[in-house]
């Protein structure tokens, strides 16, 4: 079956009790049991919930994975995956990763004896040199947030597996419609379902998709033991969102390309970060492993003052955290999404005070461009 067919039907079987086409919101904390130890597959809502189970089946199918687990946030999903490593283990982390992921490694996991090194994984030679005898995992994000660097997933998988390390990919920016990391050898995929999978800026959640049965059993055990589960209502909202994922991502991709091309030609913009530009250093790789280039664009205004002027002047684009909603969202990475990253590391990566990131929505492109044009007309 095609992607859209899977997105609409996987996990979305009509409700056997009523015939409801949409999976019901099973807003319950517990389930009646017929006798001691005799039940219908559901005992307690932290452990199982039919709405969450439907979503887990749905996104797993979209990521071409056998197993999937929904969490309360993207960070709780990432944290669950990182519980596959233990004290004394070493993890290679892509250097241009989401600020929250860096914070989790730097401020939390480091307190529990997990070692990690930040590595520019766009160059496979850097990755090869970073392995240690105790390296157990390689965690990448591609394209990266917010510089949009692209990592070769097949090459990373091949090298990592040769060293006995698992590969984890944060696929939030692309969604499974534009990129399926497991098809390139990646072991585990994580998402912030808050973003494109939900797509409507009304839910916070996370997801882990994988094929290894042993690792899946552990992730499920962590999900139940820690209890960072996605609620029935949020599961319903994300399940609603994935039904239109294909058409939304096509629109985000189309608008993203036009915004990037507009910014490249604008005299006040010094640099544009978008893998769909032929000037992007990994443009050919992006074409190879992605179905499209998406709606995430970052651009350099030259100074904090210039960035503030743009962010204060926008009218259609909403200044705020997050991304992936149907509406265009604009942000200042240095003070928002990546504020937890030390200044020297931010500047080295190109996350300057003048950098602005836009999550291009699916509004009429003429309106988006007009808003950016007027926002950039400051003196």
Tokens representing residue 237 in the block: 């909202």
Catalytically annotated residue among 79, 89, 152, 170? 170
Beta-bridge partners for 206: 71, 192
For this structure, is 202 an active site residue?
Answer: no
Catalytically annotated residue among 98, 177, 196, 274? 98
For this structure, is 152 an active site residue?
Answer: no
Residue count of the chain, please give it: 379
C-beta of residue 348 within 8 angstroms of C-beta of residue 149: no
For this structure, is 273 an active site residue?
Answer: no
C-beta of residue 70 within 8 angstroms of C-beta of residue 55: yes
Task: Supply the DSSP string of 157-226, one letter for each residue.
Answer: HHHHHHTT-EEEEE-TTTHHHH--GGGGT-SEEEEETTTTTT-SS----EEEEE--HHHHHHHHHHHHHH
Catalytically annotated residue among 46, 103, 268, 308? 46
How far is 224 from 321, CA to CA, in rounded Å? 29
Tokens representing residue 103 in the block: 């914070």
Residue pointed to by tokens 């390309």: 257
For 223-302, strand residue ranges (E) read 271-273, 296-300
From the list 164, 25, 39, the residue with the least C-alpha distance to 92 is 164
How far is 55 from 70, CA to CA, in rounded Å? 8
Catalytically annotated residue among 180, 195, 257, 357? 195
How far is 42 from 135, CA to CA, in rounded Å? 38
Would you please indicate which residues are annotated as catalytic (active-site) residues?
A: 46, 98, 170, 195
């Amino acid at each position: 079956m095609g992607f859209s067919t899977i997105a609409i039907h996987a996990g979305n079987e009509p409700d056997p009790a009523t015939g409801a086409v949409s999976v019901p919101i099973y807003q319950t904390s517990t389930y009646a049991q017929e006798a001691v130890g005799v039940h219908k597959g559901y005992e307690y809502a932290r452990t199982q919930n039919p709405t969450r189970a439907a979503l887990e089946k749905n996104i797993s199918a979209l990521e071409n994975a056998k197993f999937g687990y929904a969490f309360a946030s993207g960070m709780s999903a990432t944290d669950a995956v990182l519980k596959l490593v233990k004290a004394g283990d070493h993890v290679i982390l892509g250097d241009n990763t989401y600020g929250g992921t860096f914070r989790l490694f730097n401020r939390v996991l480091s307190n529990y004896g997990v070692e990690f090194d930040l590595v520019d994984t766009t160059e496979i030679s850097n990755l090869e040199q970073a392995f240690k005898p105790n390296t157990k995992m390689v965690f990448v994000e591609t394209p990266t947030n917010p510089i949009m660097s692209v990592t070769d997933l097949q090459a990373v998988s091949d090298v990592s597996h040769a060293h006995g390390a698992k590969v984890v990919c944060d696929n939030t920016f692309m969604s499974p419609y534009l990129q399926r990391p497991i098809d390139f050898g990646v072991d585990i995929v994580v998402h912030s379902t808050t973003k494109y999978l939900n797509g409507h800026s009304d839910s916070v959640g996370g997801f882990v998709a994988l094929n290894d049965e042993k690792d899946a059993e552990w992730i499920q055990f962590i999900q139940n033991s820690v209890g960072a589960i996605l609620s029935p209502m949020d599961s319903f909202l994300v399940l609603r969102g994935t039904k239109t994922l294909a058409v939304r991502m096509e629109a985000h991709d189309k608008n993203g390309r036009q915004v990037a091309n507009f910014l490249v030609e604008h005299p006040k913009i010094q640099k544009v970060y978008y893998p769909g530009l032929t000037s992007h250093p990994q443009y050919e790789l992006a074409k190879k492993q992605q179905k499209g280039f998406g709606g995430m664009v970052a651009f350099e205004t030259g100074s904090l003052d210039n960035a503030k002027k743009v962010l204060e002047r926008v009218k259609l684009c909403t200044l705020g955290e997050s991304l992936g909603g149907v509406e265009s969202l604009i942000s200042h990475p240095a003070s928002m999404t990546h504020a937890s990253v030390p200044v020297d590391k931010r500047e080295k990566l190109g996350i300057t005070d003048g950098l602005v990131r836009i999550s291009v929505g699916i509004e009429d492109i003429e309106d988006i461009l007009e808003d950016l044009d007027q926002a950039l007309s400051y003196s």
